[in-house]
Amino acid sequence: MNEFSKIFLASFMILILSSCAAHESQSLGTAGGSEKSLINPEDLEFKSFPEEHNGPREPAIKPRFKKLSPLDTQELSMAFVDEDYQNVFQILAHTAGLNLVIDPEVGKVLGERRRLTAEYQHQSIRDILYSACRSLDITWNQKGNTIYICASEKRIFNLDFLGSVRQALFNVGGDVLGGGDENEDIITPLSGSFEVSGRTSETVTDIYKGLEEAIKARIGEDGTLFLNRQTGTLLVRARPRIMDEISTYIDTLRSKYRRQVLIEAKIIEVDLKKDYELGIDWRLLDLTISSDELEDIGTIGRITTEILNDSLLYKLVLRGDRYNVRTAVHALEEFGTLNLLSNPRLKAMNGQSAVISVGQSISYLKQLTYDRSGTSGVYDRSVNADIGSVFNGVLLGVTPIIEDHDMVSLHLVPIKSDLIDMEEREFSDGSTFSFPKVNLREVSTVVRARSGDVIIIGGLVQEKEQTGDSGLPFLKHLPGMGRLFTYKHNQTEKVELVILLKIWVSYDEHTV
């Protein structure tokens, strides 16, 4: 091969190699550009996010598993006839993998030959234990891995009863003719007295005493009872059936004790018009009155009358949603001018007495005695004064007894006293005493009504005398000569005392 051919061949090879290198470089550049457009290299890096509030991370929540007792996880189907109860309990404890202890008192109570007959299908061991113990009137409990079979049960009751003992006394009436008191210095052949008095017994108002006596009588000599009145804690140990009865009794007692009566009262004195001087004619009230207040449907009210001190005492019960105290007040305006004496609103617990008193207590010298002591002509004189008081105002005593179906029996004792004058009397020794002159209106009655009813008590009519001065204007005020142009006049008017009561029965804090 000549020299020209070698040069041509070398140039041709260099040209081919350079073209291949350029094509490979272009292919790699295109592939690199395509990869760059699809994947961002920054996305492949791990980024650290800042912790919230720069605080420590909360630990991961781990699942909690409740440890179930073998008494609940294992079910049995078993049947036995006249089987010894000890064998039954032993089989149940062995199946559950637990220890068993039977109190010796169980054998004394049940006897050694007490048998059981029962059949259970797919029941848990706990349910079988409850059923077997209930049929034998014994109890059981589990402490750790041991089942204890006991003859009696202990339970603590937290009572919330009122610890104080309240008594209500009432005394209505008395000596009419002034000769009923044997200790009076003045002897008179006339005597007359009619008095209604009473009191609530301590055994009725002392709820802890009644509860303690009832439980002691039920548990007998085998049970025990501990009662702390201060904290209201009661500990009882008794047989299971007796314990269930005691628990039911306490729950019933607590539900009745927590009942309350909300009483909205208005004590009104009606200055009667001339046409109604004999008293309010309740039959003329613009109200619908039925004949029997004890009916459940269609009953609005009832009027009953009782003879009391030669006057009529009316008891009226208005029933229905459209009747309220305001309705009755508007109806009374037809018979005269109304004078509101008291407008109380109170709550009274079941069986607990409440009293409303509005007025003045006026003191007076009731008795004055002189004591002289000393010797040798030297005497010391002491004066002893006995101070009495008289009440001028209105008093209302209420004792509610809440029955079932929201029925309430109310013992009401309203008393209205008016101080007319303080008469002064001078005695032979020169001493002067003041004696109060009082007009008294009082009554004791029992009313039965339903929650939401309006109770009206009326018929207590009294005659009042009012003294006034009249005269010519300006002239009656002249000093010395004013009496010539002034005259006194006495005016007599009839007034009737009316008591309106609206009652609601409430349980705890919710009014029915």
Position with higher pLDDT, 309 vs 335: 335
Burial 366-377 (b: 16+ CB within 10 A, else e): eeeeeeeeeeee
pLDDT of residue 282: 72
3-state secondary structure of 255: helix
Q: Can you say how many angstroms the Cα of residue 201 is from the centroid of all Cα atoms in its chain? A: 21
Q: How sure is the predictor about 506, in pLDDT bands with cuts at 50, 70 and 90? A: confident
Answer yes or no: is 43 within a domain. Answer: no
Answer yes or no: is 191 within a domain. Answer: no
Residues 260, 348 contacting (CB under 8 angstroms):
yes
Cα–Cα distance measured from residue 460 to residue 412, given in angstroms and rounded to the nearest whole number: 14
pLDDT tens string 328-349:
777 788 888 888 888 888 888 8
**Percent share of the chain, pLDDT over 90:** 20
Residues 405 and 267 in one domain: yes
Position with higher pLDDT, 199 vs 61: 61
pLDDT tens string 384-404:
777 778 888 888 888 899 988
Give bridge partners of residue 373 from the DSSP assignment.
380
Q: How sure is the predictor about 303, in pLDDT bands with cuts at 50, 70 and 90? A: very low
Q: What's this model's pTM, rounded to 2 decimal places?
A: 0.61
Structure tokens at 27: 């292919």
Share of the chain residues as helix, strand and coil, in percent rounded to the nearest 5: 25, 45, 30
Q: How sure is the predictor about 171, in pLDDT bands with cuts at 50, 70 and 90? A: low
Residues 251 and 395 in one domain: no
Contacts of 460 (CB under 8 A, 6+ apart): 311, 313, 416, 441, 443, 496, 497
Cα–Cα distance measured from residue 245 to residue 142, given in angstroms and rounded to the nearest whole number: 24
Residues 250 and 384 in one domain: no
Average pLDDT estimate for 180-185: 48
Residue 474 has pLDDT above 80, yes or no: no
pLDDT of residue 336: 86
Answer yes or no: is 223 within a domain. Answer: yes
CATH assignment at residue 254: 3.30.1370.120
Cα–Cα distance measured from residue 346 to residue 318, given in angstroms and rounded to the nearest whole number: 20
pLDDT of residue 205: 66
Residue 185 has pLDDT above 80, yes or no: no
pLDDT tens string 357-382:
888 888 877 777 777 776 666 666 67
Q: Which residue has the tokens 């459209």?
A: 322
Residues 342 and 432 in one domain: yes
Residues 220 and 290 in one domain: no
pLDDT tens string 440-463:
888 888 888 888 888 888 878 887
Residues 326 and 442 in one domain: yes
**Percent share of the chain, pLDDT over 70:** 63
Report the range of poorest mean pLDDT among 35-44, 64-73, 202-211.
Answer: 35-44
**Which amino acid belongs to residue 201?**
S
Position with higher pLDDT, 226 vs 325: 226
Answer yes or no: is 55 within a domain. Answer: no
Residue 34 has pLDDT above 70, yes or no: no
Average pLDDT estimate for 173-194: 47
Average pLDDT estimate for 110-118: 86
Cα–Cα distance measured from residue 194 to residue 171, given in angstroms and rounded to the nearest whole number: 11
- The DSSP H or E segment spanning 383 is strand 378-402
Average pLDDT estimate for 152-180: 68
Residue 170 has pLDDT above 90, yes or no: no
3-state secondary structure of 249: helix
Give bridge partners of residue 454 from the DSSP assignment.
318, 502
Report the range of poorest mean pLDDT among 21-35, 90-104, 229-243, 334-348.
Answer: 21-35
Residues 237 and 321 in one domain: no
Answer yes or no: is 185 within a domain. Answer: no
Residue 306 CA neighbour count, 13 Å, CB half: 12
Q: Edge-to-edge strands of the sheet including 153-158?
A: 153-158, 233-238, 224-228
Residue 207 has pLDDT above 60, yes or no: yes
Structure tokens at 63: 């699942």
Q: How sure is the predictor about 237, in pLDDT bands with cuts at 50, 70 and 90? A: very high
pLDDT of residue 272: 86
pLDDT of residue 122: 93
Structure tokens at 415: 């008393």
Contacts of 72 (CB under 8 A, 6+ apart): 124, 125, 126
Q: Which residue has the tokens 């690199």?
A: 32
CATH assignment at residue 104: 3.55.50.30
Mean pLDDT, the chain, as a whole number? Answer: 75
Cα–Cα distance measured from residue 459 to residue 276, given in angstroms and rounded to the nearest whole number: 12
Domain boundary among 220, 237, 258: 258
**Torsion sign (Cα): 273, 279, 284, 289:** positive
Average pLDDT estimate for 157-171: 71
Residues 239 and 285 in one domain: no
Residue 110 sits in which domain range?
A: 75-151
pLDDT of residue 180: 47
For the chain, the distance separating the N- and C-terminal CA atoms, rounded to the nearest angstrom, is 131
Q: How sure is the predictor about 210, in pLDDT bands with cuts at 50, 70 and 90? A: confident
Cα–Cα distance measured from residue 81 to residue 103, given in angstroms and rounded to the nearest whole number: 24
Contacts of 387 (CB under 8 A, 6+ apart): 363, 364, 365, 366
Burial 264-294 (b: 16+ CB within 10 A, else e): bbbbbbbebeeebeebbebeebebebeeebe
Distances 264 to 343, 346, 405, 499 between C-alpha atoms, Å:
8, 7, 20, 11
pLDDT of residue 429: 66
Contacts of 389 (CB under 8 A, 6+ apart): 361, 362, 363, 364
Q: How sure is the predictor about 172, in pLDDT bands with cuts at 50, 70 and 90? A: low
Cα–Cα distance measured from residue 501 to residue 267, given in angstroms and rounded to the nearest whole number: 9
Cα–Cα distance measured from residue 354 to residue 257, given in angstroms and rounded to the nearest whole number: 15
Position with higher pLDDT, 227 vs 319: 227
Answer yes or no: is 493 within a domain. Answer: yes
Report the relative pairing of strands 99-102 and 146-150 from DSSP bridges. Answer: parallel
Report the relative pairing of strands 345-349 and 259-272 from DSSP bridges. Answer: antiparallel
Residues 245 and 279 in one domain: no
Answer yes or no: is 222 within a domain. Answer: yes
pLDDT tens string 115-143:
999 999 999 999 999 999 999 999 999 99
pLDDT tens string 5-33:
666 666 666 666 665 554 444 444 444 44
56: left (phi over 0), alpha (psi -120 to 50) or beta: beta
Classify residue 289 by its DSSP letter: -
Counting the structural domains of the chain, the total is: 3
pLDDT of residue 18: 60
Residues 295 and 332 in one domain: yes
Using CA atoms in the order 24, 26, 29, 34, what is the torsion angle rounded to 10 degrees? -110
* Count of beta carbons in the 10 Å neighbourhood of residue 426: 9
Residues 241 and 300 in one domain: no
Domain boundary among 258, 282, 302: 258
Answer yes or no: is 10 within a domain. Answer: no
Residues 138 and 245 in one domain: no
Q: Which residue has the tokens 């018009």?
A: 273
